[in-house]
Structures are given as structure tokens and as C-alpha cells.
């Protein structure tokens, strides 16, 4: 989405977007803009309302924001406008930015408009949203120069749309090989290196827990490693890991409900892939290394069994209690490999890991697990700032015994109807080599959601901007 600055609306004809903070329905002073006067009894800026007036060859769309508004709500309002008022968007659209707007509010508005052009019907005949047309440019009417913020917001929206598409596309399209090629293409385009290990290379490296999960699928596992290294001295080094199960049948412990949604089990991987693109696109002065282990958890004669004992990259043996607790197995190898070979000072992993986390938090926030108070605080700060919230759950040693195995070093699931998200996190902690700044985000309830923008569950792009914002504000 291109933007241009304009000084006034004298020569403009088209749609004009005018955000309005709430006044009062009894206010005797009307809302006025560009010669349009609206009595407060008709429209006074109440949140989630809008009012359309035609005058001077322009459609004036007044958009109510309420008395005060947070980042995510503002973003959603403008996404809604772009999505629902698409027919009113032509080649000429102007956005008025009030002087009172903060840079964060400008960012939310622009990225919201960008997301409003995303459409779930990837395999349906559809008209391209005007915002995506090559000749389209958004005219910005403001007394302040917001060029840098707008450019940033366009990049955020673009990265989030890429992530949404990765998660929303079906698993016969988004295979492990598709994701590895996507990572290589994006790395070449945005300036980070990408290396991919195939099954044979993974076997040589000893990534046995990862390979065990992918044994039942005809699609070859791909262990993706990305490294963004900007120039500069004494750069901080952040490590990311994303769960990349491109489809999860549950394995031999086959799922009995909700399998249709399991194309989304790679949402953690997509978030990390998108974050790498956005971090490189914004040219953040931080080194970021990311690992995305990708495979399918399918069923055939080679699939791994409950009761199998498998090896891991770290060297620990794992008793498989449940083949549907597979995400933690590939993350175990991903975390071990990252920490041993790249030694980042901070490690964050994202995964659609447990239904238990959904049972705890519903669809409002992710589960956060870390023993580092400073890391917890900074992650929560970023989450609250951009509306991608999370809440901490304990990693107490009292839960460690739940994963004791008689036959192996550790088991992958305690098999009990409680503390599922916590014991999954404790399993991952086992493979972090006691890293002092590791955090795990269980995004099962927030990565694939129901909301107003589609009739069926769909991707939210949770995590992509969260990781970027967190790294940017370290």
C-alpha cells in the first residue's frame, strides 16, 4: 500500500476517512470537517459507529473511536472499515490524521487498514481489494509528518497478512517443503540467511525426537534455521523457536474432534517466520536466530507408537505416552539445537501446544511460562501495548515429577486431566539446558480464532508483531 501526503482536500474527490473521538449526544457544537456539519444528536463519535456524508464530490466517512481507545481496538476499527466498506474504496482514498493522534495510534490505523484488505477466500473467485491494486495510493492529510510511522505500519500489516495466509492455507499446500522454500525466498528478499536440514541431514545431526514425529507422513520433514545479522558491534542475540506441525492427526493417538482445524498447528512457526521478515524489514539492530522444525504428524505403517522410547538431540531418552503430544517433541530438539549451537542470550518459543491452555484462558490471551521476571515483564509489556496479551503460569519444580518415567529419562505427557499446559512447559524446560532467559508462549487459544472477519476459524497472526515489538524494546 503506497501513501502520499496532501496539504488539503481542495482538489480531492473520493473517500475521506475521518476518525472522531467521542463528544456527547447533548453537545450543542456539531462535529465539523471539510464543510460538513453533523449534529451531535445524529453522530457524536461513539465507539464502533460511523456516519457517511456526501459533499464536494467526496464521501466523508466519520469513524467513532469513543472517548479513549487502545491500540488493538483502533486497529480493529480500521480493519473493519476497510473490510466492510470495500465498495466505497476506490482509487482515491484520503485519511485524515488528527493532531492529537500519537505515533502508536497512527501505526494502528494504517496497519488496520492494511489487514482489512486480507480475504480468506484464497481458492474462490474474488475481486481484488482496492487497497491491493497496483495503482492505489492512500492520501494522508495531516499537519505532522508521519512518513516513518506509516512506512513501518505498512510493513507490519504486510508481514501479518503473510502469516495469516500461511496459517489459513490448507495443509496440502503448506507442507514442510513449502515453508522451507518460503523461508529461503523471504531470507533472500529481506536479508537473512536460511539453512534447511532435510531428513537425512537431521538424522546425521541426531534430531531424533523431531524425526520420530514426522515418520508417519509421506512429506519430508524440514528443519529450518534462519539468522539475521545486521552490522554493528556488541549486538544482543535473541533466539526464536516456532512449532511447525503442518497438520496434526494426533498420530496413533488419533484426534476424535476438531481435526479440521489442525492445519493451524504450525501457527507458532508462521509467527516466527513472519517475525524474521518483519525484523529484517525494519532493520532492527539485534541479531536474531530462529529455528522452525516442520513436519506432519500423520498415521501410516512407519508412525511412532505410544510406549516407544525415542532419543533426542540433547541426549535424553523420551518415553512416548501420547503421540498427540508431538509439538513438545519437535520443540525439544529445536530448543536444544538453538541453545547448543547458537548460544543466544534470550530464547522465546511459540507453539499451539495444549488444549489445557485454552481451557485456562479461553481465547483471550496466551499462556506465558518463564522463570525470568525481567523477561516476563518485557514480554507482557509488549503484549499489552499492541493487544497480543499473555498471562503467566508457574514453572515450579513441584510439577517436574509429573514427567518422571520408569523406562526413560523423561516422558512426553503425564496422562492426567490437570496442569496440561504447565507440564508441557516443564517438558520443554528440560531441554533448555537451564537457560536463564527462556520463555515459552502457548498460543493455542489465540492463533486460530473466531471473530467478525470470517465465518469460520481463521488466523490471527498472533506473535509476529509481538516478537518484533519485544525485541525492539529490549
For residue 54, list its beta bridge partners.
59
Give the Cα separation of 355 and 233 in Å (integer): 43
Encode pLDDT of 185-210 as tens digits: 999 999 999 999 999 999 999 999 99
Active site residue 287: no
The pLDDT-based confidence of 43 (bands split at 50, 70, 90) is very high
Contacts of 382 (CB under 8 A, 6+ apart): 388, 466, 469, 470, 473
**Which whole number is the average pLDDT over 216-220?**
98
By C-alpha distance, which of 72, 139, 77, 74 is closest to 100? Answer: 74
Encode pLDDT of 18-31 as tens digits: 999 999 888 888 99
**Helical (H) or strand (E) element with 33:** strand 31-33
In the numeric block, the cell 465507539 is attached to 47
Give the Cα separation of 332 and 410 in Å (integer): 12
Distances (CA, A) of 343 to 95, 176, 288, 326, 346: 46, 26, 11, 25, 9
**Which whole number is the average pLDDT over 400-420?**
97
For residue 139, list its beta bridge partners.
4, 94
Angle at CA of residue 422, ends 420 and 427, nearest 5°: 95
* pLDDT value at residue 64: 98
Among 46, 195, 255, 457, the one annotated catalytic: 255
State phi, psi for 99 to the nearest 5 degrees: -60, -30
Average pLDDT over the chain, rounded to an integer? 96
**Which whole number is the average pLDDT over 299-316?**
98
Give the Cα separation of 274 and 236 in Å (integer): 20
Per-residue DSSP letter, 447: S
Residue 312's SS3 state is: coil
The yes-or-no verdict on residue 37 having pLDDT over 90 is yes
Do residues 387 and 72 touch, judged by C-beta distance below 8 A?
Answer: yes
Mean pLDDT lowest for which of 131-140, 276-285, 423-432? 131-140
**Which whole number is the average pLDDT over 374-398?**
98
Do residues 107 and 149 touch, judged by C-beta distance below 8 A?
Answer: yes
Nearest 10 degrees: Cα torsion 465, 467, 472, 474: 150
State phi, psi for 81 to the nearest 5 degrees: -60, -45
Among 219, 328, 389, 426, the one annotated catalytic: 328
CB atoms within 10 A of CB 83: 19
* pLDDT value at residue 90: 85
* pLDDT value at residue 91: 85
pTM of the model: 0.97
* pLDDT value at residue 42: 94
- Give percent of the chain with pLDDT exceeding 90: 95
Give the Cα separation of 95 and 59 in Å (integer): 12
* pLDDT value at residue 174: 98
- In terms of Cβ atoms closer than 10 Å to its own Cβ (0-12, 13-18, 19+), residue 279 is buried
Mean pLDDT lowest for which of 83-97, 187-201, 341-355, 366-380? 83-97
The yes-or-no verdict on residue 127 having pLDDT over 90 is no
By C-alpha distance, which of 216, 437, 217 is closest to 345? Answer: 437
Distances (CA, A) of 241 to 160, 252, 343, 400: 18, 26, 13, 22
The pLDDT-based confidence of 176 (bands split at 50, 70, 90) is very high
The yes-or-no verdict on residue 11 having pLDDT over 90 is no
Encode pLDDT of 310-335 as tens digits: 999 999 999 999 999 999 999 999 99
The yes-or-no verdict on residue 126 having pLDDT over 80 is no
* pLDDT value at residue 28: 82
The yes-or-no verdict on residue 239 having pLDDT over 80 is yes
Per-residue DSSP letter, 135: T
In the numeric block, the cell 525492539 is attached to 472
- In terms of Cβ atoms closer than 10 Å to its own Cβ (0-12, 13-18, 19+), residue 430 is buried
The yes-or-no verdict on residue 148 having pLDDT over 80 is yes
Amino acid at each position: 500500500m503506497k501513501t502520499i501526503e496532501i496539504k488539503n482536500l481542495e482538489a480531492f474527490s473520493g473517500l475521506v476517512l475521518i476518525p472522531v473521538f467521542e463528544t456527547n449526544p447533548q453537545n450543542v457544537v456539531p462535529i465539523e470537517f471539510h464543510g460538513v456539519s453533523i449534529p451531535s444528536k445524529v453522530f457524536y463519535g461513539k465507539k464502533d459507529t460511523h456516519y457517511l456524508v456526501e459533499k464536494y464530490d467526496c464521501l466523508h466517512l466519520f469513524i467513532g473511536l469513543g472517548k479513549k481507545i487502545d491500540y488493538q481496538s483502533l486497529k480493529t476499527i480500521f480493519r473493519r472499515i476497510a473490510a466492510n466498506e470495500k465498495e466505497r474504496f476506490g482509487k482515491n482514498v484520503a485519511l485524515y490524521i488528527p493532531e492529537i493522534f500519537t505515533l502508536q495510534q497512527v501505526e494502528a490505523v494504517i496497519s488496520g487498514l492494511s489487514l482489512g484488505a486480507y480475504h480468506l477466500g484464497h481458492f474462490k473467485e474474488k475481486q481484488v481489494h482496492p487497497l491491493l491494486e497496483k495503482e492505489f495510493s492512500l492520501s494522508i492529510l495531516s499537519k505532522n509528518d508521519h512518513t516513518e510511522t506509516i512506512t513501518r505500519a505498512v510493513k507490519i500489516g504486510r508481514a501479518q497478512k503473510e502469516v495469516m495466509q500461511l496459517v489459513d492455507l490448507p495443509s496440502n499446500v503448506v507442507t514442510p517443503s513449502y515453508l522451507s522454500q518460503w523461508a529461503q525466498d523471504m531470507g533472500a528478499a529481506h536479508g537473512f540467511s536460511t539453512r534447511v536440514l532435510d531428513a537425512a541431514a537431521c538424522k546425521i545431526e541426531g534430531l531424533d525426537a523431531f524425526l520420530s514425529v514426522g515418520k508417519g507422513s509421506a512429506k519430508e520433514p524440514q528443519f529450518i534455521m534462519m539468522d539475521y545479522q545486521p552490522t554493528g558491534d556488541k549486538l544482543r542475540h535473541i533466539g526464536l523457536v516456532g512449532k511447525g506441525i503442518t497438520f496434526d492427526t494426533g498420530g496413533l493417538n488419533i484426534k476424535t474432534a476438531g481435526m479440521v482445524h489442525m492445519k493451524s498447528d504450525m501457527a507458532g512457526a508462521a509467527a516466527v517466520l513472519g517475525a524474521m521478515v518483519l525484523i529484517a524489514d525494519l532493520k532492527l539492530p539485534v541479531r536474531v536466530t530462529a529455528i522452525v522444525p516442520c513436519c506432519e504428524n500423520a498415521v501410516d505403517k512407519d508412525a511412532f507408537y505410544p510406549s516407544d522410547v525415542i532419543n533426542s538431540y540433547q541426549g535424553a531418552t523420551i518415553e512416548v505416552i501420547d503421540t498427540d503430544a508431538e509439538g513438545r517433541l519437535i520443540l525439544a530438539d529445536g530448543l536444544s539445537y538453538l541453545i547448543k549451537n547458537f548460544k543466544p542470550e534470550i530464547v522465546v518459543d511459540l507453539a499451539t501446544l495444549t488444549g489445557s491452555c485454552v481451557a485456562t484462558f479461553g481465547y483471550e490471551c496466551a499462556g506465558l511460562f518463564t522463570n525470568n521476571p525481567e523477561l516476563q515483564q518485557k514480554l507482557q509489556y509488549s503484549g499489552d501495548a499492541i493487544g497480543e496479551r499473555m498471562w503467566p503460569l508457574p514453572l515450579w519444580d513441584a510439577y517436574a515429577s509429573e514427567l518422571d518415567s520408569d523406562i526413560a529419562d523423561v516422558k512426553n505427557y503425564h496422562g492426567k486431566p490437570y496442569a496440561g499446559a504447565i507440564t508441557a512447559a516443564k517438558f520443554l524446560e528440560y531441554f533448555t539446558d537451564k537457560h536463564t532467559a527462556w520463555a515459552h508462549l502457548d498460543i493455542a487459544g489465540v492463533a486460530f480464532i473466531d471473530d467478525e472477519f470470517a465465518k469460520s476459524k481463521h488466523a490471527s497472526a498472533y506473535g509476529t508483531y509481538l516478537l518484533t515489538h519485544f525485541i525492539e524494546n529490549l
